[in-house]
């Protein structure tokens, strides 16, 4: 049985029309190859302690075809800059990718730099439906004053922002809950989606979700065998996860994952939080958020 058939059986059993994955990576090929090179080097860099083989190391067209075969009705192009002057270029590529990939939720990004408010506004005018921010890779403070007008625009427009601000897989100067809490204090209506459930500071990021009604969390890599070895989710927090069932979104990190796509779905299923929770997480919450 192929993986696509097994994935389809998963969502079919739940009575869903498919999946919505809010955390998948499509970006210019030269950028993606550098991302893959980073993961390829982890084994040697950690003395073999952390191997990260890319499961879906395919050309772009093949990756799009594969995620469609899985029955993913809508997905994202999570792309992010690591230096000034890069975000606007990435956003230009994202316009073109979204134009030729109608089931991709048009994704844009940002960086603390002069002009960020202008190009965020332009991205919204161009049809951006979700933004990606990567505090760890970008090595910036999300509460930087340069970003404040952009956060205000995104809050006002109700545009979700998937943000990697937890300290996994390695802490950065501005990772953890405190910097992003300062952003939310200024922009409480900002629709932040904490990537990886805020790994490894899961409970701190659950605190923020409980405090701010527009905050959400995505499941990317959490609960999988791979992540449970590195940063296990605390069992005592499962009731809180159940209670926030209307604000948890399926994310996977496809294609940059070191295991099959199906494993993320099985990892969610074995939490034993019920089929209603799974239906909400794997489809309905994102469908409501994006009006799908």
What residues form DSSP beta bridges with 162? Answer: 132, 193
Q: Which residues make Cβ contacts (< 8 Å) with residue 25, sequence separation at least 6? A: 32, 35, 77, 78, 79, 253, 254, 255, 256
Please tell me the predicted confidence (pLDDT) of residue 70. Answer: 98
Q: Which residues make Cβ contacts (< 8 Å) with residue 286, sequence separation at least 6? A: 20, 22, 74, 249, 250, 292
Instruction: Please give the share of the chain, as a percent, with pLDDT higher than 70.
Output: 100
Over the stretch 86-105, which tens digit does the pLDDT of each residue have? Answer: 999 999 999 999 999 999 99
pLDDT at 45 over 80: no
pTM above 0.85, yes or no: yes
Please tell me the predicted confidence (pLDDT) of residue 156. Answer: 98
- Mean pLDDT, the chain, whole residue set: 96
Query: For the residues 158-166, what does the mean pLDDT come to?
Result: 98
Q: Which residues make Cβ contacts (< 8 Å) with residue 262, sequence separation at least 6? A: 3, 6, 7, 10
DSSP-derived 3-state class of residue 92:
helix
pLDDT at 259 over 90: yes
- 30 Rama sector, left if φ>0, alpha if ψ -120 to 50, beta otherwise: alpha
Residue 46: which pLDDT band, with cuts at 50, 70 and 90?
confident
């Amino acid at each position: 049985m192929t993986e696509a058939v097994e994935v389809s059986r998963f969502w079919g059993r739940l009575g869903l029309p498919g999946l919505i994955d809010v955390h998948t990576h499509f970006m210019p090929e030269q950028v993606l190859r550098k991302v893959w090179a980073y993961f390829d080097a982890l084994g040697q860099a950690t003395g073999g302690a952390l191997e990260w083989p890319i499961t879906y190391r395919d050309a772009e067209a093949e990756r799009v075809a594969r995620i469609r075969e899985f029955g993913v009705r809508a997905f994202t192009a999570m792309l992010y800059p690591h230096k000034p002057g890069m975000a606007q270029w990435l956003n230009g590529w994202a316009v073109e990718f979204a134009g030729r990939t109608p089931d991709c939720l048009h994704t844009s990004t940002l960086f603390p730099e002069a002009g960020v408010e202008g190009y965020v506004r332009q991205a919204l005018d161009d049809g951006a439906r979700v933004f990606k921010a990567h505090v760890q890779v970008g090595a910036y403070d999300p509460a930087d004053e340069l970003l404040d007008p952009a956060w205000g625009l995104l809050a006002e427009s109700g545009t979700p922002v998937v943000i990697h601000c937890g300290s996994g897989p390695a802490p950065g100067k501005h990772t953890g809950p405190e910097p992003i809490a300062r952003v939310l204090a200024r922009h409480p209506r900002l629709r932040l989606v904490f990537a990886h459930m805020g790994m490894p500071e899961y409970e701190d990021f659950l605190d923020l979700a409980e405090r701010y009604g527009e905050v959400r969390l995505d499941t990317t890599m959490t609960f999988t065998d791979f992540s449970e070895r590195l940063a296990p989710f605390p069992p005592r927090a499962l009731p809180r996860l159940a209670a926030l069932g209307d604000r948890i979104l399926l994310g996977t990190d496809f294609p940059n994952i070191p295991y099959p796509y199906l494993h993320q779905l099985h990892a969610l299923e074995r939490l034993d939080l019920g089929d209603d929770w799974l239906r909400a997480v794997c489809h309905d919450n994102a469908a409501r958020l994006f009006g799908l």
